[in-house]
């Protein structure tokens, strides 16, 4: 497969890094020669310096033979033009574009991206997806990651072990015997800077970050095993009234009429814009780090502060300040890979990476076959799949024990006829089952062959 990635920033580089691991010919385009030099040095890709929307640049990138173009530059209009030119002049079959400005995504303009207008097959809207991701996390207090899978019957959850977590020092393979009524399995353990797929002998320690799959209606009970019995918040402060903060506030207003929300925005015009588009949220204009404004917002009495500005450092500082003042929970949006892995160690409860969310969204689309969803886990550690077992696939008809590989591949659960089935070693995977599976990044290619599905275009 031949893929053109427009934009060699963090998102484009992560996509190219993933695709280049497979039998994929990747060409990257960026106007910044420094980014292209870094990409060609660190990745198995070809690089071209130029404007992604220019026909001659796309021609040089091999658009005439490309199967897919992924346009993720920082400018929406360049992404859209690149897809339009790729379609009109080079007949590229599939086109993905990142579109960040909400005005393009409003319902009244839904015809814009029709095939005979702006021929883009899949729109990535990071701000919308980030807001949805935060909303999912807020609905499950105590969790820093929440991803529904398997027709909504299974949930992939990330949670931090506390000093009072009752199952500390308990071997993981004893949990099923101790709590036979709970359908869950721990798939990943993060301890400090290390991540691993644990064995049954592994014991949890305070401070560990644990990722597990559980039956959807048992998530609250499983969280209690980790010492998390927080109640859903009634008061919230959002710092940042840009696309993410505004979108999140609108979603929360629609979802929960009893939730009291205050939004802080430093830019006067943006604050006025937010106030005009929110009905119940109190909008405060000013610097969120000012003690008086934080006091006016009631940060000391709020259950959750979400720091959603465009500045990573400001988000981290605001989250830490909120925790110091007494906020029960702090959520920070952090884009930069170099610091995102360190933030959790500072005491911030939830770190949200728009970059990883965008990468996961693109990966879900560029897959083919029976893979219904795929999400990145950690900074390149592995991937969590939601897969439909197809007729003739190698996995179909085999037991869980037969397909698992210690330290590399684990089954988190099976959904059959709307019922969650724990992944017992002797359980046979049947045609049509939805299987939730965790693969280490070093094993992803083999895992996809196991399911007779490779990377490709729908």
- For residue 427, give the DSSP letter: P
Question: Within a domain: residue 87?
Answer: yes
Q: Provide the number of structural domains found in the chain.
A: 3
Tell me the DSSP string of 78-147. Answer: HHHHHHHHHHHHH--SEEEEE---GGGGSGGGGGGGSTTTS--SEEE-HHHHHHHHHHHHHTSTTEEEEE
Q: Where among 90, 124, 158 does a domain terminate?
A: 124
Rounded CA separation 319/264 (Å): 13
Task: Answer yes or no: do 115 and 15 share one domain.
Answer: yes
pLDDT for 452: 59
pLDDT for 367: 62
Q: Where among 99, 124, 149 does a domain terminate?
A: 124
Rounded CA separation 139/135 (Å): 6
pLDDT for 364: 74
Could you read off the pLDDT tens digit of each residue along the chain, which spans 458 residues?
899 999 998 888 888 887 876 668 999 999 999 999 999 999 889 999 999 999 999 999 999 999 999 999 999 999 999 999 999 999 999 999 999 887 787 777 777 877 778 889 888 888 888 888 888 888 888 888 999 999 899 999 999 998 889 999 999 989 988 998 889 999 999 988 789 999 889 999 998 999 999 999 999 999 998 988 877 768 999 999 988 999 999 999 988 778 899 999 999 999 999 999 999 999 999 998 998 999 999 999 898 999 999 899 999 999 999 999 999 899 999 987 666 666 666 778 888 888 788 877 777 777 655 678 888 888 778 889 998 898 888 899 999 999 999 889 999 999 999 899 999 999 999 999 999 999 998 888 788 778 754 444 43
H or E stretch covering 71: strand 68-71
pTM of the predicted structure, to 2 decimals: 0.80
pLDDT for 455: 43
Task: Answer yes or no: do 284 and 398 share one domain.
Answer: no
Q: Where among 97, 124, 151 does a domain terminate?
A: 124
pLDDT for 229: 80
Task: Answer yes or no: do 302 and 377 share one domain.
Answer: no
Question: Within a domain: residue 48?
Answer: yes
The three state secondary structure string of 215-244 is: EHHHHHHHHHHCCCCCCCCCEEEEECCCHH
Question: Within a domain: residue 200?
Answer: no
Question: Within a domain: residue 104?
Answer: yes
Nearest to 308 by CA among 277, 270, 260: 270
Domain that residue 444 falls in: 358-450
Question: Within a domain: residue 72?
Answer: yes
Task: Answer yes or no: do 369 and 444 share one domain.
Answer: yes
Query: What CATH number should be reported for the domain holding residue 250?
Result: 3.40.50.720
Strand partners, 382: 377, 440
Query: What CATH number should be reported for the domain holding residue 436?
Result: 3.30.70.1450
Q: Are strands 143-149 and 94-98 parallel, antiparallel or unpaired?
A: unpaired
Task: Answer yes or no: do 384 and 429 share one domain.
Answer: yes
Give the number of residues written for the chain.
458
Question: Within a domain: residue 97?
Answer: yes
């Amino acid at each position: 497969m031949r893929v053109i990635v427009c934009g060699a920033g963090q998102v484009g580089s992560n996509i190219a890094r993933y695709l280049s691991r497979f039998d994929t010919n990747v060409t990257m385009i960026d106007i910044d020669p420094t980014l292209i030099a870094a990409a060609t040095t660190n990745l198995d890709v070809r690089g071209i310096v130029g404007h992604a929307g220019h026909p001659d640049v796309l021609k040089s990138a091999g658009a005439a033979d490309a199967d897919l173009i992924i346009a993720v530059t920082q400018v929406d209009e360049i992404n859209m033009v690149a897809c339009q030119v790729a379609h009109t002049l080079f007949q590229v079959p599939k086109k993905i574009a990142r579109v960040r400005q909400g005005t393009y995504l409003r319902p009244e303009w839904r015809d814009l991206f029709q095939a005979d207008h702006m021929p883009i097959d899949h729109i990535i809207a990071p701000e919308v997806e980030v807001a949805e991701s935060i909303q999912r996390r807020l609905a499950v207090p105590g969790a820093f990651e929440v991803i529904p899978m398997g027709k909504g019957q299974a949930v992939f959850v990330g949670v931090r072990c506390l000093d009072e977590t009752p199952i500390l020092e308990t071997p993981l393979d004893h949990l099923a015997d101790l709590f036979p009524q709970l359908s869950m399995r721990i798939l990943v353990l993060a301890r400090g800077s290390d991540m691993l797929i644990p064995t049954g002998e592994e014991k949890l320690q305070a401070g560990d970050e644990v990722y597990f799959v559980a039956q959807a209606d048992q998530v609250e009970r499983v969280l209690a095993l980790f010492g998390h019995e927080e109640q859903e918040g009634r008061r919230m402060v959002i710092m940042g009234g840009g696309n993410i903060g505004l979108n999140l506030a609108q979603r929360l207003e629609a979802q929960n009429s009893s939730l009291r929300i205050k939004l802080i925005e430093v830019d006067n015009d943006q604050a006025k814009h937010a106030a005009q588009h929110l009905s119940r949220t109190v909008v405060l204009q000013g610097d969120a780090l000012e003690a008086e404004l934080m006091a006016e917002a009631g940060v000391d009495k709020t259950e959750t502060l979400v720091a959603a500005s465009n500045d990573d450092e400001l988000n981290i500082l605001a989250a830490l300040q909120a925790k110091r003042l007494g906020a029960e929970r702090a959520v920070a949006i952090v884009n930069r890979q170099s610091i995102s892995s360190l933030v959790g160690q500072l005491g911030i409860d939830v770190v949200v990476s728009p970059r990883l969310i965008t990468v996961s969204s693109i990966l879900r689309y560029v897959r083919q076959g029976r893979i219904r969803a795929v999400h990145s886990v950690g900074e390149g550690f592995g991937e969590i799949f939601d897969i439909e077992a197809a007729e003739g696939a190698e996995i179909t008809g085999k037991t869980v024990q037969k397909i698992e590989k210690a330290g590399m591949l684990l089954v988190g659960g099976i959904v059959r006829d709307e019922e969650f089935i724990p992944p017992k070693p002797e359980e046979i995977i049947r045609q049509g089952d939805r299987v939730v599976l965790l693969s280490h990044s070093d094993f992803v290619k083999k895992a996809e062959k196991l399911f007779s599905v490779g990377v490709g275009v729908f």
